[in-house]
Chains A and B, each alone.
Chain A
Amino acid sequence: MKYMLLINAAMDDETGPVGNGCTVEDWMAYDKTVKDAGIFVTGHSLADLVTATTVRVGPGGERTITTDGPFAETREVLGGYYVIDVPDLDVALDWAARCPGSWGGGSVVVRPVAEF
């Protein structure tokens, strides 16, 4: 069963992303563990929120392009994701808890990937 781990960082409107105390080494170690465990399907870290652009297409086909992402009003910002393949939700929750993104005020949302 595939689960997406949506890694959210706490965000301050004034100062940008709030560090959660994790180091690059923490992330590299986690990434290596996920890949060594044979559960890695895909995953990426996203560039800074200021680089985000939002597109909306209206009923007449007109494009609206904004740089205020849909995250502007929230206190948490998507910073990256993993898709992992594990037997059940308990295992997925364990991997989410080991992810540095869930520490120090950050959070990881676990969403099952729909199967058709």
Chain B
Amino acid sequence: MEAVFREERGRLLAALARRFGDLDLAEEVASEAVEAALVHWPVEGVPPKPGAWLMTTARRKAVDRLRRDKVYAARLAILQAEADRAGPVPSPDPDADLPDERLQLFFTCAHPALPAEDRGALTLRCLAGLTTPEVARAFLVPVETMAKRIVRAKKKIREARIPFRVPGPDELPGRLPGVLQVIYSIFTEGYAASSGPDLQRLDLAEEAIRLARILRRLLPAEREVAGLLGLMLLIHARRDARTGPDGGLVLLDDQDRGRWDRTMIEEGRGLVVVALTGGPPGPYGVQAAIAALHDEAANVATTDWPQIVALYDVLLVLTPSPIVALNRAAAVAMRDGPEAGLALLDELAGEPRLRGYPPYPTARADLLFRIGRLPEAAAAYREALGLAGSEPERAHLRRRLAAAEAADPGARQARDGGPDGMPHV
């Protein structure tokens, strides 16, 4: 039954939001419908069309609410009049248990009239089902700040009447990158959960992949959609090897590459070709190409680091950001040695976006460890421990810290470990 609710909640919310133009009302009655199901279904059995049951129940509760509340009632009357003016919206699949209107909700949550920082937050909250504290961690802001942002974003959707619809073909190129960014942020949250007992939240990663597949079907000519889907598949292919039997983090260096999902890698590689053919490359296509180089290598030593650094150079031009610079520095460390990588990392020390971002001190600590600057490595691991993340990530950092403290400070440490903890590639 939990699975049913998880699958249906997003759809329910999307359909209700479209109908009532109000995410708060939609969330409220969606929750009430799920509560009603928890009471009725164990007694009466799960209905043949659970989605339709939930939708009918939620809609009835919304109408009740609107009858009690005159202000809401006035809004409903206006919305119905406006909907009539705008013309009927065809349902994409009338035979479905509950039509999937999540795409509309995606474009609403990623709407350019919302502040950029609120778009991903709202999507994670409404479509991925994250709690506000989880969303706050994903975006590295305090919980209260995030709660205010989500309230503000919902208020703007409601009061400025941002529509729940998919943009027309002429608007699509301008609107699509925002939606892709949002899907990728859901994926990275699934790839390295921001909190909780599990390192990876595969349901989130798979949800992001599923949404990207839907987009790919709807927009087959958009190469960046192919790039994004390819990128996520090429990373997700490593999921089984990334966690040890005890749930611990396994670095790229130490992963059993035989456990990588070859079918998924092949699909991802095919999408890289699509993404990089027929025009200038986009940021997702380039990142997918980097991920493909990792997936094609038999081990870390034979990985094509010069090519990876070159791709990061391209990426840095397309999307200049300290996060990309951090990943590039880690690749340079593999190509030219840890000192070269560390020098680049230290240049990024003042970047506000890397403050409080665990991969930064982790990457520094790994390189300091490899160079043999053990007290500094230990300090950087401690800094990362003060910030990270899921329990397996923390356990990994504690092990590394212990290793740094135990090693003879005078002895040069042999090469050990490597860059990891990066959200992409």
A interface with B by C-beta (< 8 Å): 1, 87-90, 93, 110, 112, 114-115
- Check if A87 sits within 8 Å of B163, measured CB to CB: yes
Q: Please tell me which one of the listed residues B85, B86, B162, B167 contacts residue A89 in the complex, with CB atoms under 8 A apart.
A: B162
A87-B82, A89-B160, A90-B167 provided; 7 other pairs, C-beta below 8 A? A1-B161, A87-B85, A88-B82, A88-B161, A88-B162, A89-B162, A90-B162
Q: Please tell me which one of the listed residues A87, A89, A114, A115 contacts residue B113 in the complex, with CB atoms under 8 A apart.
A: A89
- Check if A1 sits within 8 Å of B78, measured CB to CB: yes
Q: Kindly supply a per-residue 1/0 record for chain B positions 70-99, scoring 1 wherever the CB is within 8 Å of any chain A CB and 0 otherwise.
A: 000000001000100110000000000000
23 contacts between A and B (CB under 8 A): A1-B78, A1-B161, A87-B82, A87-B85, A87-B86, A87-B161, A87-B163, A88-B82, A88-B161, A88-B162, A88-B163, A89-B113, A89-B160, A89-B161, A90-B162, A90-B163, A90-B165, A90-B167, A93-B113, A110-B160, A112-B161, A114-B159, A115-B78
Contacts A1-B78, A89-B113, A93-B113; is A112 near B160 (CB within 8 Å)?
yes
Q: Kindly supply a per-residue 1/0 record for chain B positions 134-171, scoring 1 wherever the CB is within 8 Å of any chain A CB and 0 otherwise.
A: 00000000000000000000000001111101010000
Bound: A87/B85 CA distance, A: 7
- Residue among A1, A90, A115 with the highest chain B CB neighbour number at 10 A: A90
User: Chain A nearest CB: distance from B75 CB in Å?
Assistant: 8
Bound: A88/B162 CA distance, A: 6
* A-side contacts of B85, CB under 8 Å: 87
* A-side contacts of B78, CB under 8 Å: 1, 115
* A-side contacts of B163, CB under 8 Å: 87-90
* B-side contacts of A89, CB under 8 Å: 113, 160-163
Majority SS at the chain B contact face: loop
Q: Considering the complex of A and B, which 4 residue pairs feature the smallest CB-CB distances, nearest first?
A: A88-B163, A88-B161, A87-B82, A87-B86
Bound: A114/B160 CA distance, A: 9
- Check if B113 sits within 8 Å of A1, measured CB to CB: no
Q: Give the residues from 160 to 213 in chain B that come closer than 8 angstroms, CB to CB, to chain A.
A: 160-163, 165, 167
Closest to B107 in A: A90
* B-side contacts of A88, CB under 8 Å: 82, 86, 161-163
* B-side contacts of A87, CB under 8 Å: 82, 85-86, 161, 163
User: Chain A nearest CB: distance from B168 CB in Å?
Assistant: 10
Bound: A24/B363 CA distance, A: 60
* A-side contacts of B161, CB under 8 Å: 1, 87-89, 112
* B-side contacts of A93, CB under 8 Å: 113
Closest to A93 in B: B113
User: Chain A nearest CB: distance from B69 CB in Å?
Assistant: 15
User: Chain A nearest CB: distance from B165 CB in Å?
Assistant: 8
* A-side contacts of B82, CB under 8 Å: 1, 87-88
- Check if A112 sits within 8 Å of B159, measured CB to CB: yes
* B-side contacts of A1, CB under 8 Å: 78, 82, 161
Q: Kindly supply a per-residue 1/0 record for chain B positions 394-419, scoring 1 wherever the CB is within 8 Å of any chain A CB and 0 otherwise.
A: 00000000000000000000000000
* A-side contacts of B162, CB under 8 Å: 88-90
User: Chain A nearest CB: distance from B323 CB in Å?
Assistant: 31
User: Chain B nearest CB: distance from A16 CB in Å?
Assistant: 31
User: Chain A nearest CB: distance from B77 CB in Å?
Assistant: 11
* A-side contacts of B165, CB under 8 Å: 90
Closest to B159 in A: A112
* A-side contacts of B167, CB under 8 Å: 90
Bound: A115/B71 CA distance, A: 10
Bound: A112/B158 CA distance, A: 11
User: Chain A nearest CB: distance from B383 CB in Å?
Assistant: 43
Q: Kindly supply a per-residue 1/0 record for chain B positions 47-77, scoring 1 wherever the CB is within 8 Å of any chain A CB and 0 otherwise.
A: 0000000000000000000000000000000
Bound: A93/B167 CA distance, A: 13
Bound: A101/B424 CA distance, A: 43
Bound: A93/B114 CA distance, A: 13
* B-side contacts of A115, CB under 8 Å: 78
Bound: A90/B114 CA distance, A: 12
